[in-house]
Amino acid sequence: MTTPFGARLRAAIDRRGPLCVGIDPHPELLAAWELPDNAEGLARFADTVVTALADRVAVLKPQAAFFERHGSRGVAVLERAVAEARSAGALVLLDVKRGDIGSTVAAYAGGYFGPDAPLRCDAITLSPYLGYESLRPALDLARADGGGAFVLARTSNPEGGEVQTARTVDGTPLAQAVLDRLAAENADAAPLGSFGAVVGATVLDPSLRLDIGGPLLAPGLGAQGATAGDLPRVFGGALGQVLPSVSRGVLRHGPSAAGLRAAADREATELSRVLGG
């Protein structure tokens, strides 16, 4: 991965549209697809999504927790899904929300970045709430591998506000402090930085300065209540950096591959219209 993640993401969005589709095989969805809640059902679910979508959406975002709950067999399914999705042309953002310190966060990152990483992907999600600089080993390893990261800043879950709206010792809201650090990571990057923020599409906070020079992953569309039409109001002048994330809004149209493709195409078309892509 010699080209930085941000440049590869910009090219993928320009070519395929601004859509990230989650791969979230939670038990209710497996049941709706009439699949068993075990590693076999997980594999059939992941294979169907990857086969249907990896050649047409910009980003696929497996939620690692739903694979890890099945133990080593589930992680093996995740490894295969990540590799096959990337081989088919999708960028893979692995949703792991890692946050630790020192050698431990470096060890986590070593599973995702580098030529020998078993879950080598294009980007991961990170939590900065042990202190932003605690993430430095992961950020540095991602950069060295041409990868990227999306750091939690102002998330769509209601509980997030009690931490993310707290103020640092200099009075800066914590979410803004994270955004400012990401802007520094992306300094001089073109056409798009590799280090993004997670900012929920359900959150309206006009005080936030969202132009970080990198992508803004926007969960919360669909089941959590936000719509494509809300994005200009939430993101304002940073709208061109938004990567909307949709999971159930696409996955509920399975297990038909044709249904998944049609749903993803509808979402991408509507998002392109709103975002100007």
Nearest to 91 by CA among 5, 151, 194, 24: 5
- CA dist., res. 223 & res. 52, Å (int): 22
Average pLDDT, the chain: 95
| Domains by residue range for the chain, with CATH | 5-275 (3.20.20.70)
- The DSSP secondary-structure symbol of 124 reads E
pTM over 0.85: yes
Burial of 147 (0-12, 13-18, 19+ CB in 10 A): buried
pLDDT of residue 11: 97
- Is the separation of the CB atoms in 33 and 254 below 8 Å? yes
- E strand residue ranges, 214-273: 216-218, 242-246
How far CA 99 is from CA of 43, 81, 91, 273, in Å, comes to 28, 24, 22, 35
Instruction: Name, in order, each residue with C-beta under 8 angstroms of 112's C-beta and a sequence gap of 6 or more.
Output: 94, 96, 119, 120, 121, 124, 142, 147
Dihedral sign for Cα atoms in the order 16, 250, 63, 30: negative
Torsions phi, psi of 45, nearest 5? -60, -55
pLDDT at 244 over 90: yes
What are the pLDDT digits (tens) for 217-242? Answer: 999 887 777 899 999 999 999 999 99
In this predicted model, what pLDDT tens digit does every residue of 171-205 receive, in sequence order?
A: 999 999 999 999 999 999 999 999 999 999 998 89
Can you give the pLDDT at residue 158? 86
Residue 97: closest CA among 105, 85, 86: 105
pLDDT at residue 99 tops 70: yes
Cis-peptide into 232, omega within 30 deg: no
Q: For 105-124, how does the pLDDT look when each residue is reduced to its tens digit (9 = 90+)? A: 999 999 999 999 999 999 99
Active-site option among 26, 97, 136, 266: 97
Is there a contact between 54 and 84 (Cβ–Cβ < 8 Å)?
yes
Alpha-carbon gap, residue 85 to 120, rounded angstroms: 11
Query: Is 61 one of the annotated active-site residues of the chain?
Result: no
